[in-house]
């Protein structure tokens, strides 16, 4: 594993902080936020669209959790990975995005039905606007 190799290279113990200060102490929350901001700014040079996005440790954590969920990792495992004491905390954290909803629906769609999204007619939309 990459993290295990990193700890061996630093002569660290499994309980040590993965990313530490020069003195070996755990990075503070502020230090992590500054590092993420600095590297996000550097990444904008290669990917200018990042300038329009909010990149923070929380966003990175949430994105990683959503990617795990999207790849079929069980919510209980994600809860452990995030350090949550209960799966209920993770349930609030992991809202299902449209892609996950579509994947879930795709599993239930009969094979003889063409997949797609409902597109209301202009007449129906006009009726609903008048309500």
> Does 41 fall in a domain?
no
The reported pLDDT for the residue numbered 98 is 67
Give CB contacts under 8 A, 24+ apart, made by 69-74.
Answer: 69/94, 69/100, 70/99, 70/100, 70/103
Give the Cα separation of 126 and 129 in Å (integer). 5
> Does 67 fall in a domain?
yes
The reported pLDDT for the residue numbered 34 is 95
Give the Cα separation of 42 and 63 in Å (integer). 19
> Does 100 fall in a domain?
yes
Give the Cα separation of 53 and 64 in Å (integer). 16
Q: What is the pTM of this model?
A: 0.61
* Segment 51-106, tens digit of pLDDT: 999 999 999 998 898 888 888 898 899 999 888 888 888 887 776 666 777 777 77
Comparison of pLDDT for 20 and 45, the residue scoring more: 45
Confidence of residue 47 (pLDDT cuts 50, 70, 90): very high
The reported pLDDT for the residue numbered 107 is 78
The reported pLDDT for the residue numbered 20 is 81
> Does 39 fall in a domain?
no
The reported pLDDT for the residue numbered 96 is 64
> Does 78 fall in a domain?
yes
Mean pLDDT of the region 11-15: 72
Domain containing residue 95: 56-109
> Does 65 fall in a domain?
yes
The reported pLDDT for the residue numbered 40 is 95
Give the Cα separation of 41 and 114 in Å (integer). 44
Q: Quote the percentage of the chain above a pLDDT of 90.
A: 35
Comparison of pLDDT for 96 and 121, the residue scoring more: 121
> What is the total count of domains within the chain?
1
């Amino acid at each position: 594993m990459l993290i295990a190799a990193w700890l061996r290279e630093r002569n660290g113990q499994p309980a040590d902080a993965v990313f530490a200060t020069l003195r070996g102490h755990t990075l503070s929350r502020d230090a992590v936020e500054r590092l993420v901001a600095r590297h996000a700014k550097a990444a904008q040079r290669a990917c200018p669209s990042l300038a329009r996005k909010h990149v923070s440790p929380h966003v990175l954590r949430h994105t990683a959790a959503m990617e795990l969920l999207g790849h079929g990792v069980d919510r209980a495992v994600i809860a452990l990975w995030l350090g949550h004491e209960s799966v209920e905390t993770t349930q609030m954290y992991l809202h299902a995005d449209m892609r996950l909803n579509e994947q879930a629906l795709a599993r239930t769609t009969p094979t003889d039905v063409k997949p797609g999204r409902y597109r209301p007619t202009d007449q129906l939309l006009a009726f609903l606007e008048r309500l």
